Amino acid sequence: MRVLVTYGSKMGGTAGLADMLAAELVAQGIPTDVSDADSVGSLADYDAVVVGGALYATRWHRAARRFVKRRTAELRTRKVFMFSSGPLDDSAATTEIPPTRQVQRLMERVGAREHKTFGGWLPADAKGMAGSMAKEHSGDWRDPDLVKEWADHLGRALQESTAA
């Protein structure tokens, strides 16, 4: 079993979540690679793919959407899981947040098994559209314990499906 964790990230928060997930899977003995969605080559070596995207106004990061749309046929032959990052508060740590409609459609397109929403990260010095939000919502809302919990769950699911 080899896993790819790929992501679309603008500010780096989703990339950080992907790194945390991959590290936890590796710690469970599951060979795992991490790559931004625009840099992924062949999926031939992977049995499972975890796709993550930052949320901006309920829209998933463009690179994550493009990855899923361009690789639909390949993804449909693998175990696929998805995650989103974005809430700039503790809501993702205290409540199960379902995927947005857009992400739900992408999940259905490739037969993804499940989705998890994590808190986001926004630096205080963010520029552009995010800059206006940074005044009130900057900070790191990612919860490493929640990431570890989901990675442990994924690891068990992947190992069980391999044993079956």
Q: Give the HSE-up count for residue 100: Cα atoms under 13 Å, Cβ half-sphere.
A: 19
Q: Mean of the pLDDT values across residues 16-36?
A: 97
Residues 140, 145, 148, 154, CA torsion sign: negative
- Summarize pLDDT for 39-82 with one digit per residue, the tens: 999 999 999 999 999 998 889 999 999 999 999 999 999 999 99
Tokens for 93, please give them: 């740590």
Domain residue spans in the chain? Answer: 3-154
For residue 1, how far is the Cα from the chain centroid?
A: 19
Give residue 85's pLDDT: 95
| pTM over the 0.85 mark | yes
Q: Mean of the pLDDT values across residues 15-21?
A: 97
- Summarize pLDDT for 82-138 with one digit per residue, the tens: 999 988 888 999 999 999 999 999 999 999 999 999 988 765 666 665 555 555 666
Give residue 57's pLDDT: 80
Superfamily of domain 3-154: Flavodoxin domain (3.40.50.360)
